[in-house]
Amino acid sequence: MHHQLLTEPETIQDLEVAAAERLNEAKALVAEGQATGGAYLAGYVAEMVLKMAAFRVNGHLPTTAVYPLLAPALHRARIAYGPNIDYQSYHGVLFWALVLADDRNRLGLATPIARHAVNRAQRINQIWSVNMRYRAGLVAQQDAVLLLNDVGWMHSNRLRLWS
C-alpha cells in the first residue's frame, strides 16, 4: 500500500474519497475534544474540496492526475490576484477558493456560491494552516467547531461548487 502511494499519482477522485474520510475523522476528534487534531484534518478537507472544485469546473475528469493541474492554477491566480498570492505550496484554502472564484467568473458561471466559499475560506484561514502540524494546543474547542461547520458546508456543497 505504501509503495502504491509512492508510485501512483493522485487523481481528482482520490481527493474525493480522502476528503470524506478525513472529514469523518475530523468530526470524531472534535467530538472527543481533540480540537487541534480535528481542526488540522478538517483544514485538509477544505483544501481537497476546493481543489476538486477548481479542477472539475475546468472540465477535468475524476480520473485526471492532480499534479499537472497545480502549476496552471497558480499561474492563473497570479494573473488574477497578483504575483504575491499566498498559495502555501498548493495547500492554501483561501488560495484555492480564490482560484475557484476566478475560474467560475472566467467561465461565465454563477459566482455567489464561489463568494460563499471565499468567505468561509477566509474564516478557515484564520484558524488553519498547513504549518500547524508541528504545533500543539493551537486550536480552542469552540474554534474547531466553527471551522468544522465551514468545512462541512464546503463538503456538502462540493457539487454546487463546480457546477
Partner 1 sequence: MPIRRLVKIGEMRVHDVEAQQIIERLVHEWTSSVPLDVFGPSITEQRDPHSGAVHLYVVWDRFRGIGHQQRSEMIMDAYQQVAPADVRNVTLAMGLTAPEVERMGLDL
- What residues line the site for partner 1 (CB under 8 A)? 6-7, 9, 55, 58-60, 64, 67-76, 79-80, 106-107
Of the two residues 62 and 68, which places its CB atom closer to partner 1 in the complex?
Answer: 68
| Residue among 33, 47, 28 at smallest CA distance from 137 | 33
Least separation in angstroms between CB 137 and partner 1:
31
Give φ, ψ of 9 to 5 degrees.
-70, 145
Cα-to-chain-centroid distance, residue 57: 14
**CA 109, 70, 59: angle at the middle one, nearest 5?**
35
Q: Which is nearer to partner 1, 58 or 129 (CB)?
A: 58
Q: Which is nearer to partner 1, 20 or 70 (CB)?
A: 70
From the list 129, 136, 131, 137, the residue with the least C-alpha distance to 94 is 129
CB of 57 to partner 1, least distance (A): 9
> How far apart are CB 69 and partner 1 at their closest, in Å?
6
Please identify, using beta-carbon distances, which residue of 74 and 85 lies nearer to partner 1. Answer: 74
**Residue 93: CB atoms within 10 Å:** 31
CB of 107 to partner 1, least distance (A): 7
